[in-house]
Amino acid sequence: MSAPVTIKDVQVILTQPSNSRLAIVKVITSEDGLYGLGCATFTQRIFAVATAIERHLKPFLIGRDVDRIEEIWNMSMVHGYWRNGPVLNNAISGVDQALWDIKGKRANMPVYQLLGGKSREAAHVYVHADGRTKEEVLDNVQKYIDQKYRYIRVQMGGYGGKDSPMVKPKNAPEGAYFDPRDYARRMLDMIAYVRENVGESIELLHDIHERLQPIHAVQFAKDVEQYKLFFLEDSLAPEDIHWFKVMRQQCATPIAMGELFNNPHEWQMLIQERLIDYIRMHISQMGGITPARNVSIFANMYGVRTAWHGPGDTSPVGHAANLHLDVWHPNFGIQEWYRPTELEYEMFPGLPTIEDGYLYANDNPGLGIDIDEDLAARYPCEDIIEQWTQTRLPDGSPTRP
């Protein structure tokens, strides 16, 4: 019996080809030339994730059998004793995705084949249309329609509608201010305007981004029901998930939830009680492909579909992982897509491609994506103090972003 292939080294590649700081994990094996890539991107705490990998996971992983993905994931999760936090989960995800990439390369199969094979040839995506006014939002929606996108998320003035006029108290501190009540009124008017102009054949989505108090989120979900959204996204904060019972009783607006989830207790109840229609975790935030596969199977039992989080602060490697899950599992719903730059396509050969609103995976072994490390090194991560997450209500009170 041949000796197992083991983990020889674990490296973290930090790069910033666009606005978001990205963390890519490279697991190097004892077999010459064999390595895997995974996404560990938690852009707001990117250096904490890198330290967790380099100082804690790497020493723990050296010498372990690359084939034992389940064992490595479970032991990595409990090895730190405290668990289910965003820094550790992202660090574990980078390794987990890289091990799936390696397993696919060893089997000479794409990861979706290892999961059970394709249920579809490509994944429908939705894209993000914003604007300062409802007219500008409609213009941007029309541009996407012209590019053959059929699922479009409509926002105005950014999350929370930051362009709202408001009166602040004297000596109010700096911050990303928004007025929740004015946001709700203006967004309903914008959605009505866009729906009236594009008709019902274009699927519209909207993201509250947990910006409303629970009772006002329920009211919004009721008020927007008439415009037949494909789904209403993140209408409540993770701390308020029991309010979904109230929302479900009040209206038939389809609900999507999950990008901030870390802990299985946050999603299990929502799925089991059929309180949401789409589960949309950030794959690296929940720990990688291994838990995402398990959630997909669990959600399918209750008719809940997937809509994995796919913004610019998911790395191209993470988007490739999303897509392998998308084309495999039968309960796929929709995939968020951030439209990579030409630089990202150059830096990450094998990055999935879009055509007629569908995202296509290539047939290369593993995740089918690589990284040009020399090019990535030319775009180092900046030291940034995030501004958009310093959110405040009109009176200056800190609130959730």
Known catalytic residues are 159, 209
Residue linked to tokens 């197992």:
4
Going by C-alpha positions, the residue among 235, 308, 300, 249 that lies closest to residue 272 is: 300
Tokens of 62: 């050296």
In contact, 65 and 4? CB cutoff 8 Å: yes
Residue type, 245: K
Give the Cα separation of 180 and 183 in Å (integer).
5
Torsion of CA 251, 266, 314, 30, to 10 degrees: -150
CA-closest candidate to residue 159, choices 206, 191, 194: 206
CA gap 156, 132 in Å, rounded: 6
Distance separating alpha carbons of residues 345 and 337, to the nearest angstrom = 14
The token pair at 247 is: 């929302």
Task: Name residue 153's beta-bridge partners.
Answer: 128, 205
3-state secondary structure of 71: helix
CB 279 within 8 A of CB 270: yes
Measured from the Cβ of residue 396, the count of other Cβ atoms closer than 10 Å reads 15
Do residues 200 and 230 lie in contact, with contact meaning Cβ atoms separated by under 8 Å?
no
Q: In this structure, how many other beta carbons lie within 10 angstroms of the beta carbon of residue 342?
A: 8
- Do residues 314 and 284 lie in contact, with contact meaning Cβ atoms separated by under 8 Å? yes
- Tokens representing 121? 């040839």
Contacts 24+ apart (CB under 8 A), 132-137: 132/156, 132/157, 132/163, 134/189, 134/190, 134/193, 134/194, 135/193, 137/190, 137/193, 137/194
Nearest Cα to Cα of residue 232 among 291, 267, 177, 275: 275
- How many Cβ atoms from other residues are within 10 Å of residue 169's Cβ? 9
